């Protein structure tokens, strides 16, 4: 089906029409889910409403081997999506590959492999109907992409669990210098991509901004979070909060990582996350949605953009029929 994604102003036409996309994440986990993943693709392909698919990372479990063979297997399955596919990496496919059960590998080497396998054509989506997007390849981060559709500014940004990649690797009690340097560079690129997305949204008079990423920076299942386990997210969360507070329309954050569906407003007035991250101004216009994954990965999230409605995005979970 025809689809035009743009980061620049467009005239009449598709921008005025509803736009539906599917979101999945944290799948496939383990051999059984890997064997059934073609059925996931087939069901999403059969949905006549879906025009784009977003995968929020974690294409494997954290304890399985991070092999080239597995990466190419998942890439071959991604290639069977009929619609454009936007994929943002998760921690399981590179950050956590230092674990003995996962290889072990050097995570930075695995990150290079992920970029080689899944981002060989910067500025183009995956899937059978590949389309252009704006890529961060020029600064070394081809996985960071932005696009616009139906009056919404989208950004897929590389933010991962394991404290955004700062959790110490096996055999270490603190991040290595190379590990810390990677996180600093990627965080700076992510912050800039978020700034740029909101800047374009304001210039283009977009009705909403939607961010897609892997990490759950507001995990409600952690009852007493330690800042040391989340501190690497702070500059990103502050950027999202600041930009959301300055934006006149709704902002949506889609993430995976914690595996259980959740919809909330993590930076609303009174939220404990405000003081946790040291944020002074609340962002009540930010809505966050966590998709089901891992053993809960029994559905995909179907999201529709309504250009003429006050509620710009609506979503529902669609159960897999197998």
Residue % of the chain over a pLDDT of 70: 96
**Model pLDDT, residue 259:** 97
The DSSP line for 22-70 is EEE-S---HHHHHHHHHHHHHHHHT-TTEEEEEE-S--S-TTS---HHH
**Model pLDDT, residue 155:** 98
Q: Compute the distance between CA of residue 292 and CA of residue 26 in angstroms, rounded to an integer.
A: 8
Number of helices (H) and strands (E) in the chain: give both, helices first: 7, 12
**Model pLDDT, residue 9:** 35
Q: Compute the distance between CA of residue 184 and CA of residue 164 in angstroms, rounded to an integer.
A: 10
Length of the chain: 322
pLDDT for 3 beyond 80: no
**Model pLDDT, residue 300:** 98
For the chain, domains (ranges, CATH) are: 18-319 (3.60.21.10)
pLDDT for 13 beyond 60: no
The 3-class secondary structure across 251-299, one letter per residue, is: EEEEECCCCCCEEECCCCCCCHHHHHCCCCCCCCCEEEEECCCHHHCCE
pLDDT (mean) for 137-150: 97
pLDDT for 14 beyond 80: no
**190 near 156, Cβ under 8 Å?**
no
Residue 312 has a CB neighbour count (10 Å cut-off) of 22
């Amino acid at each position: 089906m025809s689809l035009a994604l743009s980061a620049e102003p467009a005239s009449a036409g598709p921008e005025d029409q509803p736009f539906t996309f599917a979101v999945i994440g944290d799948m496939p986990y383990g051999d059984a889910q890997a064997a059934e993943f073609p059925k996931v693709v087939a069901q999403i392909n059969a949905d006549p409403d879906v025009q784009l698919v977003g995968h929020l990372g974690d294409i494997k479990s954290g304890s399985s081997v991070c092999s080239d063979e597995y990466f190419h297997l998942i890439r071959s399955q991604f290639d069977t999506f009929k619609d454009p596919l936007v994929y943002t990496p998760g921690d399981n496919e590179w950050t956590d590959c230092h674990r003995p059960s996962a290889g072990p590998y050097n995570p930075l080497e695995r990150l290079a492999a992920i970029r080689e396998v899944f981002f060989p054509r910067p500025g183009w989506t995956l899937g059978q109907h590949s389309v252009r997007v704006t890529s961060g390849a020029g600064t070394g981060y081809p996985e960071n992409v932005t696009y616009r559709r139906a009056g919404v500014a989208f950004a897929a940004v590389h933010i991962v669990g394991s404290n955004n990649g700062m959790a110490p690797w096996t055999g270490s009690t603190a991040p290595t210098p190379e590990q810390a340097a990677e996180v600093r560079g990627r965080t700076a690129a992510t912050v800039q991509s978020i700034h740029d997305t909101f800047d374009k949204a304001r210039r283009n008079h977009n009705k909403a901004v939607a961010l897609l990423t892997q990490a759950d920076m507001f995990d409600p299942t952690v009852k007493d979070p330690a800042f040391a386990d989340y501190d690497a997210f702070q500059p990103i969360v502050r950027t999202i909060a600041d930009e959301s507070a300055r934006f006149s329309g709704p902002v949506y954050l889609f993430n995976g990582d914690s595996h259980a569906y959740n919809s909330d407003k993590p930076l609303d007035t009174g939220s404990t996350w405000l003081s946790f991250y040291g944020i002074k101004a609340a962002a009540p216009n930010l809505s966050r949605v966590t998709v089901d994954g891992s053993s809960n990965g029994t559905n995909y999230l179907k999201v529709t953009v309504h250009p003429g409605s006050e509620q710009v995005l609506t979503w529902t979970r669609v159960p897999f029929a197998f």
